[in-house]
Amino acid sequence: MAKFRFRLEAALRLAERSLEEQQRLLAQEIQKHFSLQKACQDQENVWQFALQGQEEACRTSPQDLGLWQSFTQKQIELLRYIAEEVSQQEKVVTQQRQRLLEAHQDTEKLKKLKEKQRAVFNLKEQRREQAVLDETGQIMFGRRSSL
């Protein structure tokens, strides 16, 4: 019996590698996004601390109020910067998910094509075997009839 060979096997392997690579990249981007979110939360806590310090300075030590206001301003600017990075990273993650989806679709197309071609091959092979069996039966029947 002949062996099935998928002509696009190399393309399928490349598509599977691409899928794995896109999965790895997505995991990295999600990890980076998580880290940025954590940094944003931490920075928000620092900013809240600065606001509390500013409020406390208003009540107890007005001479330190300018320092606290400056500190608070720097912290809110840093918080906005980190929040913008989080927003940008969300876009990167979304784009990477789209690339992963496309790689998955390409891989699935090739796998389905391979299975269809395998089914056609198996059907042709079964028909060829059936034809050989039919011919063998006819030859044997012909020999028995002539005896």
Domain regions of the chain by residue span: 8-114
Average pLDDT over residues 43-56: 95
pLDDT at 1: 65
Report whether pLDDT(35) > 80: yes
Q: How confident is the model at residue 139 (pLDDT cuts 50, 70, 90)?
A: confident
Tokens standing for residue 130: 């059936």
pTM: 0.77
Cα separation, 11 vs 18, whole angstroms: 10
Answer yes or no: are the C-beta atoms of 85 and 36 closer than 8 Å.
yes
Taking alpha carbons only, the member of 53, 34, 133 closest to residue 92 is: 34
pLDDT at 49: 96
Q: pLDDT (tens digit, 9 = 90+) per residue, 66-98?
A: 999 999 999 999 999 999 999 999 999 999 999
Cα separation, 2 vs 122, whole angstroms: 10
More confident residue, 133 or 81: 81
pLDDT at 142: 80
Average pLDDT over residues 86-115: 97
Average pLDDT across the chain, whole number: 94
Tokens standing for residue 74: 């720097």
Cα separation, 78 vs 86, whole angstroms: 12
Cα separation, 82 vs 74, whole angstroms: 12
**Half-sphere exposure at residue 7, Cβ-oriented, CA atoms within 13 angstroms:** 3
